[in-house]
């Protein structure tokens, strides 16, 4: 999955992540936000890797994929037990954004660095929505029945390593260290469960650590 179209940066969402969800931002913040949104696109270099696997066994809080990789834990099992397949996805906006944020931090432009960091989060979210739209067309009549991330509930952060390994033949741009952290920093690994029932859960509403 190489192309999902132009990335849209939702400024209102960036402001919410900056803490201005319920109040108007100062003019200087709005000005810097507008400037960063206008100039950010050359620093966004998306790379997207996805692969679909059949689920061959579900039992004892374990989901076994066709290549015998096993996803363990009650949370993953409950989310994926109604699914027939999974789509493993790894996507990034690239390392240039990391470098730009570091540049701001080293040059006393902390606010611009914070704004750019949140723009990166919103860009990743937009990429994810693009992945889901393309995926729905590819797997129809199956639907996206679940969406799980390493670190949620008892779905260990170790599963970032499993996602990385499952895409090792496609991925040439993203690395992972011994603590299972991806590089570039602005990288996400996710597993979409594919089944007959659509996933309607609002991830923000159900999150125990809301950003806003």
Structure tokens at 207: 């999150």
Taking the alpha carbons at both ends of the chain, their separation in whole angstroms is 31
Of 97, 86, 87, 12, residue with least CA distance to 47: 97
In a structure prediction context, what are the per-residue pLDDT tens digits for the chain, which is 212 residues long?
556 668 999 999 999 999 998 899 999 999 999 999 999 999 999 999 999 999 999 999 999 999 899 999 999 999 999 999 999 999 999 999 999 999 999 999 999 999 999 999 999 999 999 999 999 999 999 999 999 999 999 999 999 999 999 999 988 889 999 999 999 999 999 999 999 988 766 666 666 666 66
Find the radius of gyration of the CA atoms of the chain: 18
The pLDDT of residue 99 is 95
**Could you give the CA distance from residue 20 to residue 15 in angstroms, rounded to a whole number?**
5
The pLDDT of residue 184 is 96
CA contacts within 13 A on the Cβ side of 119? 26
The pLDDT of residue 21 is 84
- What does residue 148 show for φ and ψ, rounded to 5 degrees? -125, 145
Q: Which residues, listed in sequence order, are joined to residue 78 by a DSSP beta bridge?
A: none
The pLDDT of residue 179 is 96
| 153-160 long-range contacts, CB within 8 A, separation 24+ | 153/73, 153/74, 153/75, 154/73, 154/74, 154/75, 154/76, 155/71, 155/73, 155/75, 155/76, 156/72, 156/73, 159/71, 159/76, 159/189, 159/191, 160/189
The pLDDT of residue 210 is 62
pTM: 0.90
CA contacts within 13 A on the Cβ side of 174? 31
């Amino acid at each position: 999955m190489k192309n999902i179209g132009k990335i849209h940066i939702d400024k209102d969402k960036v402001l919410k992540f900056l803490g201005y969800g319920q109040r108007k931002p100062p003019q200087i913040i709005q000005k810097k936000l507008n400037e960063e949104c206008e100039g950010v696109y050359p620093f966004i270099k998306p790379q997207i890797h996805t692969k679909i696997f059949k689920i061959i066994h579900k039992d004892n809080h374990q989901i076994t994929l066709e290549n015998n990789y096993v996803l363990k834990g009650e949370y993953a099992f409950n989310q994926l037990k109604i699914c027939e397949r999974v789509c493993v996805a790894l996507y990034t906006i690239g390392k240039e954004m990391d470098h730009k944020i570091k540049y701001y931090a080293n040059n006393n432009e902390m606010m611009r660095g914070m704004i750019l960091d949140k723009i990166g989060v919103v860009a990743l979210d937009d990429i994810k929505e693009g992945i889901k739209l393309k995926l729905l067309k590819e797997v129809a009549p199956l639907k996206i029945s679940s969406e799980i991330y390493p670190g949620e509930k008892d779905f260990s952060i170790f599963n970032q390593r499993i996602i990385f390994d499952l895409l090792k033949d496609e991925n040439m741009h993203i690395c992972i260290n011994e603590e299972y952290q991806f590089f570039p920093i602005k990288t996400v690994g996710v597993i979409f469960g594919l089944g007959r029932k659509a996933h309607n859960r609002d991830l923000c509403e159900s999150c125990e650590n809301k950003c806003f």
